[in-house]
Amino acid sequence: MRVAIVGAGIAGGSLAWFLRERLGERGRIDVYEASERVGGRLRAVSLGGTQFEAGGKHIHERNRCIGSFVDRLGLDRQSVGHGDAGRIGVWDGDRFAVTTSPSKPVTLFRLLSRYGLSPRRARNRTRAVADRFDDIYDHPGTAFATPTALLGSVGLADLQSQSGHEYLTDSGVDPQFVNELIAGTTRTIYGQDPALNAFACLTALTGMGGDTYTLGLSNATLCDRLFTAAEATVRTETPVERVTLGPDGARLTASTGSRDYDAVCLATPAESAGIELSGVTQPAGYGDREISELSVAYVAGRLDPEAFGEQSPEDVPGVVVTSADSTAGFVHLRDVSERAGRPAYKLTTQGGATPELLDSLFATIDETAEVSWRAFPRLDPESPTPPFRLADGLYYVNAMESIVSTMETQAIAARSVANLVVRDR
C-alpha cells in the first residue's frame, strides 16, 4: 500500500500516525510539504529569545486524540491558565462594555447584574455539547463519509446549520451577553462574530473555559514526532502541483517529479494549496470556501493606557477582547509580560499590526514578531461541506474545516480518513 499525504501540519501528522497503526509494516507513507518546515499552522515565534505560539496554541484536556499522541510520544504538557493575564475587558472600540475584577464575588456581581443567568446558561449548553461530542471517541474505527456524518453520529449535526447567536439566544441566553463576552471569545479564536456556526461557537467557548495546555517545546514538535513515529518519509520544500486519477490509482506530480500511489490524501485546505485535480469531479466546498485572515503579533513595549481611556497601563485589563461589531482595529490583546520577562503583549488582528495600529496602542515598542495567516475557512452556518473521500484513491482531511478548525478535530478527521483509506483498499 503506497499512500501520499499532502501537507505536514497536524492533520498530516495525525493521518500518518493512524495509517501506520492500521497498516502495520505493510504501507509506505510519503509526506509532501510545500514549505521548508513541518507544523503548518502550528508555529512558534521568538520575542527576545522567548518562544511564543503564533498559531494553534491551546490543547484542551478533553482532547483525547491529541492527548494520546502527547502521552504516547512522551511530550511535556504546560498548563495554560486563562486567568494568568489578570482581568478581562470587553472593548467596543470606544469603551469597556464590561470588565471582570480580581475579586471573584465582584466579578459575579457584575456579570449577574448585567447578564442575569445568561453566563450560567451558556456554560451549561457548552458543557452539554462537549459531553455529547466526547461520544465521538467511541467510534475509533468508523469511516465517516463526510464531516456532517461525523457530527451526526453524536447527534450534533444540527449545530452546523444554525448560528451560535441563534442557538444560544434560543436557549435563553441574553443577546447582550452573546454580543459581548461570547463575541469576545469567538472573535479571539476565529476572528468571527457569534454569527458563525453553533458548533464552532461552542467549541470556542469550551476552549476558553480553561483546562488547556500547550507543549513544552513548540506545538509544531508534535507533527515532527508523529511523522517519525509513523516512519513516514517527509519531503519539505516539495509543493504538490497536480493529482491525476486513473484506473490504477493516483499519480501525484510535485515540484520534483511524479509518482504513483494507491491513495493520495490532501491534508491542507484546497483554497491555499494550488493543486490541480484531474479525473475528478470537484464537489461543492472543495476549493471555493472564503478564507479568514488573522495576524498574530507579539509586541515588546509599553501600552499607551490612553488608548483605552485609562491613566496607567496597570488599569487596562490584561485580556482585552472585542465585542460584536467592535470598531477597534484589533480582535484581541493579551498581556504576556510575565512569560516575556518585560512588558509585552499578544495582539491579534484581521488586517495585520500596521504601524498606525501599533502607534495608537503603544507608547513605546522595543521589538515585534508577527505571523499573518490564511487562518481557516469562514465558519458560517450552511457553508458547503465537501466529503472526506473525493474519489476512488483521493481523500480530503480538511473537509472538516467547513465546520470547525482545531488541532483535535483535524486529528479526528484524519482518523476517519485513515479508516476510509484502509476500508477502500
Ligand X SMILES: Cc1cc2nc3c(=O)[nH]c(=O)nc-3n(C[C@H](O)[C@H](O)[C@H](O)COP(=O)(O)OP(=O)(O)OC[C@H]3O[C@@H](n4cnc5c(N)ncnc54)[C@H](O)[C@@H]3O)c2cc1C
Nearer to ligand X, 58 or 87 (CB): 58
Q: What is the DSSP string of 341-377?
A: TSSEEEEEESS---HHHHHHHEEEEEEEEEEEEEEEE
Rounded to the nearest whole angstrom, what is the least distance from the CB of residue 286 to ligand X in the complex? 14
- Shortest distance (Å) from residue 11 CB to ligand X: 3
The SS3 assignment for 333 reads: strand
In sequence order, what are the beta bridge partners of 348?
A: 296, 332
Give the pairing type, strands 263-266 and 2-6: parallel
Please provide the size of the chain in residues: 425
Contact set for ligand X, span 9-38 (CB under 6 A): 9-12, 32-35
When asked if residue 268 is in the footprint of ligand X (CB under 6 A), the reply is yes
Q: Binding ligand X by CB under 6 A: which of 267, 299, 319, 328?
A: 267
Q: What x/- string results for residues 223 through 242 when contact with ligand X is judged by CB under 6 A?
A: ----------------xx--
Mask 341-380, x = binds ligand X (CB under 6 A)? --------------------------------x-x-----
* CA dihedral sign of residues 297, 303, 305, 307: negative
* One-letter amino acid of 269: P
For residue 327, what are the β-bridge partners?
A: none
Cβ 87 vs Cβ 319: under 8 Å: yes
Q: Which of residues 284-303 bind ligand X (CB under 6 A)?
A: 294, 296
- Report how far apart, in Å, the C-alpha atoms of 291 and of each of 181, 216, 385, 402 are: 24, 30, 14, 10
Q: Is 386 in the site for ligand X (CB under 6 A)?
A: no
Q: To the nearest whole angstrom, how small is the minimum distance from the Cβ of residue 212 to ligand X? A: 8
- Residue 403 binds to ligand X (criterion: CB under 6 A): no
E strands, 247-354, are 249-254, 257-261, 263-266, 276-278, 291-303, 319-322, 332-335, 344-349
* Touching ligand X, residues 53-72 (CB under 6 A): 55-58
Q: d(Cα 215, Cα 269) in Å, to the nearest integer?
A: 24
Q: Which is nearer to ligand X, 269 or 317 (CB)?
A: 269
Q: Which amino acid is at 303?
A: L
Positions 192 through 211 that interact with ligand X (CB under 6 A): none
Nearest residue to ligand X by CB is: 40
Binding positions for ligand X, rule: CB under 6 A: 6-12, 32-35, 40-42, 55-58, 239-240, 267-268, 272-275, 294, 296, 373, 375, 398, 405-408, 410
